[in-house]
Structure 1
Amino acid sequence: MAYVPAPGYQPAYNPTLPYRSPIPGGLSVGMSVYIQGTAKENMRRFHVNFAVGQDDEADIAFHFNPRFDGWDKVVFNTKQSGQWGKEEKKKSMPFQRGSHFELVFMVLAEHYKVVVNGNPFYEFGHRLPLQMVTHLQVDGDLELQSINFLGGQPAPAPYPGTDYPMTIPAYPAPGYNPPHMNSLPVMMGPPVFNPPVPYVGALPGGLTVRRTIIVKGYILPTAKNFIINFKVGSSGDIALHINPRIGEGVVRNSFMNGSWGSEERKVSYNPFGPGQFFDLSIRCGTDRFKVFANGQHLFDYNHRFQAFQMVDVVEVKGDITLSYVQI
Structure 2
Amino acid sequence: ATPIPGGLRPGMAIYVQGTVPHHTKRFRVNFSCGSEKGADIALHFNPRFDSGDKIVFNSFQHGKWAREEYKHEMPFRRGQHFEMVFSITPESYQIMVNGAPCYEFRHRIPPERVQVVDVDGDLELQSLNVMGGGVSDWGVGGAGDVGLGRSRTAPAPQPHFPYVANFPGGLTSKKTVVVKGFVPQGAKSFSINFKMGYSRDIALHINPRLNERVVVRNSLLNGQWGAEERALPHNPFQPGQYFDLSIRCGNGRFKVFANGQPLFDYNHRFREFQQIDTLEINGDVVLSYVQF
TM tier, shorter chain? 0.5 to 0.7
Cα distance in 1, alignment partners of residues 162 and 95 from structure 2? 29
Task: Indicate how the Cα distance of structure 1 residues 265 and 53 shifts in structure 2: closer, same or farther if over 3 A, else same.
Answer: same
The aligned runs of 1:257-296 (5 Å cut-off) are 261=271, 264=274, 282-283=279-280, 294=289
Cα distance in 1, alignment partners of residues 122 and 32 from structure 2? 20
Any gaps of 5 or more consecutive residues in structure 1?
Answer: 1-19, 156-169, 173-183, 195-200, 216-227, 268-280, 285-291, 299-327
Task: Indicate how the Cα distance of structure 1 residues 186 and 67 shifts in structure 2: closer, same or farther if over 3 A, else same.
Answer: closer
Displacement of 1:104 in angstroms is 0.4
**TM-score where L is the length of structure 1:** 0.50
Amino acid in structure 2 at the alignment position of 1:33: I
The aligned runs of 1:238-317 (5 Å cut-off) are 242-243=247-248, 255-256=267-268, 261=271, 264=274, 282-283=279-280, 294=289, 298=292
The aligned runs of 1:142-153 (5 Å cut-off) are 142-153=123-134
Displacement of 1:69 in angstroms is 1.5
**TM-score where L is the length of structure 2:** 0.56
Deviations 1:81-110 (A, max 9, x none): 110001001111000000000110000000
The aligned runs of 1:36-115 (5 Å cut-off) are 36-115=17-96
- Partner of 2:112, secondary structure, is helix
Task: Indicate how the Cα distance of structure 1 residues 282 and 59 shifts in structure 2: closer, same or farther if over 3 A, else same.
Answer: same
Question: Which residue does the alignment assign to 2:159?
Answer: 171
Q: How many residues align?
A: 200
The answer (yes or no) to whether the contact 1:185–1:210 under 8 Å persists in 2 is: no
Question: Which residue does the alignment assign to 1:185?
Answer: 162
Cα distance in 1, alignment partners of residues 115 and 83 from structure 2? 22
Cα distance in 2, alignment partners of residues 90 and 61 from structure 1? 18
Backbone CA RMSD of aligned residues: 4.5
Any gaps of 5 or more consecutive residues in structure 2?
Answer: 137-157, 165-181, 208-214, 220-225, 231-245, 257-264, 282-286
- Partner of 1:54, secondary structure, is coil
> Where in structure 1 do 4 or more consecutive aligned residues deviate above 3 Å?
184-187, 207-211, 250-257, 260-267, 292-296
Deviations 1:151-197 (A, max 9, x none): 12248xxxxxxxxxxxxxx536xxxxxxxxxxx5389xxx6259xxx
Task: Indicate how the Cα distance of structure 1 residues 202 and 75 shifts in structure 2: closer, same or farther if over 3 A, else same.
Answer: closer
